[in-house]
Structure 1
Amino acid sequence: MERVIVARVQGSTHHESVVRWARQEATRRGSALRVVHDGQPDGLNDAELVVTGARDPDGVVLPGCPLVLVPEVPAAPPSARPGAGIVLGVDAREPARAAVDFAFDTARMRGVRLRAVYAWRFPSCAAELPFGVPEEDRAAWEDHEVQLLSDALRPWRERHSDVHVLEDVRLLPPAQALSRRSASAALVVVGRTQEREPGPTLRALLTEALCPVAVVPT
């Protein structure tokens, strides 16, 4: 079966950047490109990847294949720089395997670095400390989270030894941690469960991201 990337053009949304991104990705993957406009049959049944605009996160319907949402950004965003890397949002305790696979494969295909961003938070017992979190406790907790991320990524790093991986542990909400890294990235990759609409974290990320965001179903 022919591999197809679908560019879904919605009304007056920034369709040129959507089609441009989809065309470039189709060339990289050796796939056919199909442009679908509003009012046409969706044509998504055989798509390996769908590309659309990210202007209205609340109106996004997530398909059963990876979806790339292209934001409205200036004509020459930082992500347009040659060699810009891939950012992966990952939960070290329960990594979304399909998203991690997609991120590693994309980084390998492009020959760029992969930054794995893990956003963590203090354990619930921290709220009970009367004078805030001591620095030594914070350091110990952070060291534990760093080790969790390293252990979670080890199987992929062993399979993709040609991909340079930077592990990035952040004490921030996930959307904020990823949006900050999107300023110098070519693509942010996140996983999702089987819901058909974005959750609050994904909606926040789509609002703030400065590069395209790939949403990969489990």
Structure 2
Amino acid sequence: MDPVLLARTGTSAPGRAATAWAAREAEMRGAVLRVPDGPVREPGRASVIVCGVSGEADAPPGSGSPWAALVDAARGPVVLVPDLLTTSHRRTGVTLGVDARDPSAAALAFAFQSARLRGVRLHAVHAWALPADAVGRPFGVPEGERAAWEDQEVQSLGDALRPWREKYPEVRVLADVRLFSPTAALLHCSEHAALAVVPGGSGDLAWQEAVRALLRRATCAVAVVPS
């Protein structure tokens, strides 16, 4: 079992929260918790990397902020623990952002594993938008036409989740299709989650913005999983 790597410690609130999160994660996984002496620039092999985040949520990937550099360099999941982390017995679920038309197998695997380890429900959220030629229609989109498009999105999400549901039959799954941006959908659906999982490393600016928004406003940990 690869170790859980605690990449950033300290006496600040996010440092303490990240330390506690990493210790729980290592215990659940039956893995060793490893704490490097200095900054982690090349993470190497780790089952999960945990990093406290303070005041850097607006920094885009590649900007030189510690969490952005970790996400860029990591080959596995990076759990970012924000300033506003709130722990509560009501915060037990795992929320996953899914692009049903191009699903990230790595993000799906981590989300299902995380839900199984915690014995909680997985809330899989697929955000979609109306076709470009429908947005500018002067009289709007007929309800029947919109419903047909939504049915297609529901089918796509079901297809993306099916093999993972079969692999993890013990995990309860809520499949949720939202006519929102990825950022708005994840912010809304992670309000009561203990962990939000976002695919990363694909160069998709929508997911990158979702991560920054979650770190600014969400009160749960955020896992970025490179594809």
Residue 224 of structure 2 corresponds to 215
Query: Structure 1 residues 26 and 209 mapped into 2: Cα distance closer, same or farther (>3 Å)?
Result: same
Q: Which amino acid aligns with 1:147?
A: Q
Identity %: 46
Residue 109 of structure 1 corresponds to 117
Query: Structure 1 residues 6 and 151 mapped into 2: Cα distance closer, same or farther (>3 Å)?
Result: same
> Which stretch of structure 1 is more off in the superposition, 153-162 or 165-174?
153-162
Is 1:159 the counterpart of 2:170? The answer is no
Residue 192 of structure 1 corresponds to 200
Query: Structure 1 residues 152 and 41 mapped into 2: Cα distance closer, same or farther (>3 Å)?
Result: closer
Structure 1 ranges of 4+ moved more than 3 A: 10-13, 39-43
Residue 50 of structure 2 corresponds to 51
Asked whether the equivalents of residues 83 and 112 of structure 1 are also in contact (C-alpha less than 8 Å), the reply is no
Query: Structure 1 residues 40 and 208 mapped into 2: Cα distance closer, same or farther (>3 Å)?
Result: closer
Is 1:86 the counterpart of 2:94? The answer is yes
Distance 1:213 1:190 in 2: 7
Residue 150 of structure 1 corresponds to 158
Shift of 1:183: 1.6
Distance 1:48 1:168 in 2: 28
Gaps of 5+ in 1: none
Instruction: Note the 1:196-207 alignment, pairs <5 A.
Output: 199-207=208-216
Is 1:68 the counterpart of 2:79? The answer is yes
Asked whether the equivalents of residues 117 and 168 of structure 1 are also in contact (C-alpha less than 8 Å), the reply is yes
- TM-score w.r.t. length of structure 2: 0.84
Q: Which amino acid aligns with 2:33?
A: L
Distance 2:197 2:121 in 1: 13
Give the 3-state SS of the residue equivalent to 2:36 in structure 1.
strand
Deviations 1:9-51 (A, max 9, x none): 26656210010000010100011112236x4565722322111
Query: Structure 1 residues 192 and 185 mapped into 2: Cα distance closer, same or farther (>3 Å)?
Result: same
Shift of 1:69: 0.4
Distance 1:40 1:179 in 2: 30
Residue 96 of structure 1 corresponds to 104
Gaps of 5+ in 2: 60-64
Distance 1:70 1:122 in 2: 34
Distance 2:202 2:192 in 1: 29
- TM-score w.r.t. length of structure 1: 0.88
Give the 3-state SS of the residue equivalent to 1:122 in structure 2.
coil
